[in-house]
Each structure stands twice: as C-alpha cells, then as structure tokens.
Amino acid sequence: MNEIALLHPGPCEEALLAFLEACGLSPAVKRGFADGEDSVIFYMDEASWKAFQGKLREGLDRICGIFGQSPPEISARPLDSVQWQEAWKRYAKIYRFGKDLIVKPSWRVLRTQPTCPVISLDPRMAFGTGGHASTRLCLRHLLQIRKVAPDQFCDVLDVGTGSGILAIAAARLGAERVVAVDIDRDALTVAEENARRNGVAELIEFQPGSLAGIHDRFDLILANINESVLTELFPEFARRLRSTGILVVSGILRKQGQAFLKKAVRAGLERRSTRVEKEWVSYSLILGKRTP
C-alpha cells in the first residue's frame, strides 16, 4: 500500500478532496503545525497507484489552473502492513446514514448518544469500512428495503462479506438469519470478530467459498463485488432467490451499468431500483416474469 500526499494544497484543498472522492478514494487532510505544511493524503495499492498517476496529474493541472496556482508536489511512500493499518486507523471516518444507521471504526467514540443502530468495525485487512461508495450504496438499499418491504428481512445472504459490514448491518436491522460467504478465509475471520463485537454472531452463519456451498433460497441477497464476478454469478443468484426475493448488487461502474442490466435480463433478473454515488452504481434486482 502507498501513502500518497499532495503537499501544501492551499486554496485548492476542497476542490482536490472533491476530485479524489469522485475518483472513488477516501482522501483526508493531514494538518501540519506551521502554515503551509498541510497535505491531502490518500492510500492506494501499487497497481492502482501506477494506473492513477496520469489521471491525477491531469486533475491537478485542471483544478489548480482554475485557482491560478501551480499543482501541489506529489509524494508517494510505500507502507508495510503495520504502517498501513496505523495510517488507516488514524484517518478512518464515521459514516452516518440519515437517522437510521451509523457505521464507525471500533476505536472511534461517538460524541453524542446515538438513537439508531451503530455498527462498530475493525476491518483490518478486509474490505468494508463504509469508506467505499459501493458499500454505502448497498447499505442505503438495505435501509430502503427495510422501510418498504420489511418481510424481506427474514433470510439474508451476503456474498463477499469482507469485514462483514453488510451481514452485520442486516442482522442489526432485523434480519432473522444471515448467511455470509467469502472466498477469502482471512476476511471471514475478521468478519466473525466484527459480528461478535456487534452482538450478532448468533444470527450470522459464516461460510468459506462462494455460492456453490449454498443450497437454500433467500429473501434478500447482497453482493458488493465487481461487474465481472457479479455477471458470472447471475444464474447462481437467480437460483438462490425466493420468488419474491430481492438481489442487491454493487461494485459496478456507472459506465458498465447498461451492459450489466442487459446481462441481468438474459439471466432472468430485472431491475427494481437504482442508486448512484460518484461513478458507482448499485441495483436492486428481482426475478423476471419470464424465466430464461
């Protein structure tokens, strides 16, 4: 993992943060002690950083041009896993979903007494902090489904649970039984710890692997992975949905949306609703009237 710092952003700071967020990153401002020592920082693995440098330089030129400023100096330093976790912990944020749900890092304390469920997570190296738009989109679908279709909260399947965030949210929001799978066994260990931390370990069954080991049908399936894995899994999802079931998929780029939906229809699924954040899109899908 690399820590990338844009040094002394000056008046461009807000615009740079907005640009980086629009690129799907979770930037933070590191305040220096003296004037002008501030920097905007974000984290990226080596391959993504290599691919992103051109787009970053272009963005910096454009934004700083508007402000009549020269672009900030870029500094990138590789972090080992211990440094990465420490850095990440320092900047991890609390996410609020209206008045309905709070997701916070386990080491952060809320200043006021919450009136809604709070999920407390330590994702360690697993994905799923609430920091990524694709996770937040799933959580918003979940909250909406609970409001308009509370019956959909009986049996829930979370495919690619990562830190366990979606499974835990489903359980905290009233699901009777949750099954969560991930092909990454380390993620499952983290997810189980998080489930215990949130008092819902009894409600969630964690299973290594993907859908092959799942034979039941569910009222609600959540899957925040990526476009290609999701489309491959379409027929398997369809077989595990109850006739009135809802499938929430996320991790899809907006530009992939139309093609993705066409493939969904071919697999017998149709769109029920759409949510968008930054360049990400997430859909809730139901079984179509026509089976393919």
Site for ligand SAH, residues 32 to 51, rule: CB under 6 A: none
Instruction: Say which residues have a Cβ less than 8 Å from residue 289's Cβ, sequence separation at least 6.
Output: none
Residue 145: both structure tokens together: 């489904």
Which of 187/261 has CB closer to ligand SAH? 187
Which of 63/153 has CB closer to ligand SAH? 153
Question: What Rg value do the Cα atoms of the chain yield, rounded?
Answer: 20
Select the residue interacting with ligand SAH from 225, 248, 267, 285 (CB under 6 A): 225
Which of 39/129 has CB closer to ligand SAH? 129
Residue 267 C-alpha from the chain's centroid = 25
Which of 224/256 has CB closer to ligand SAH? 224
Site for ligand SAH, residues 135 to 174, rule: CB under 6 A: 135, 138, 159-162, 165-166
Here's the x/- map for ligand SAH, 171-210, by CB under 6 A: it reads as ----------xxxx--x----------------------x
Beta carbon of residue 280, minimum distance to ligand SAH (angstroms, whole number): 11
Q: Strands 241-253, 269-277: parallel, antiparallel or unpaired by DSSP? A: unpaired
Q: What long-range pairs does 145-152 form, CB within 8 A, spacing at least 24?
A: 145/220, 145/246, 145/248, 145/284, 146/173, 146/174, 149/246, 150/174, 151/219, 151/244, 152/219, 152/220, 152/244, 152/245, 152/246
Distance CA 194, CA 203 (A): 13
Distance CA 277, CA 183 (A): 27
Q: Could you please report the per-residue DSSP string of 109-177? A: --SS--SS-EEEE--TTSS-SS-SHHHHHHHHHHHHHHHH-GGGGSEEEEES-TTSHHHHHHHHTT-SE
Beta carbon of residue 140, minimum distance to ligand SAH (angstroms, whole number): 12
Contacting range for ligand SAH; rule: CB under 6 A; set: 62-70, 195-203, 222-230, 276-284: 222-230
Which of 141/177 has CB closer to ligand SAH? 141
Contacting range for ligand SAH; rule: CB under 6 A; set: 9-17, 22-30, 32-40, 127-135: 127-135
Which of 6/137 has CB closer to ligand SAH? 137
Site residues for ligand SAH per CB under 6 A = 127-128, 135, 138, 159-162, 165-166, 181-184, 187, 210, 224-225, 229
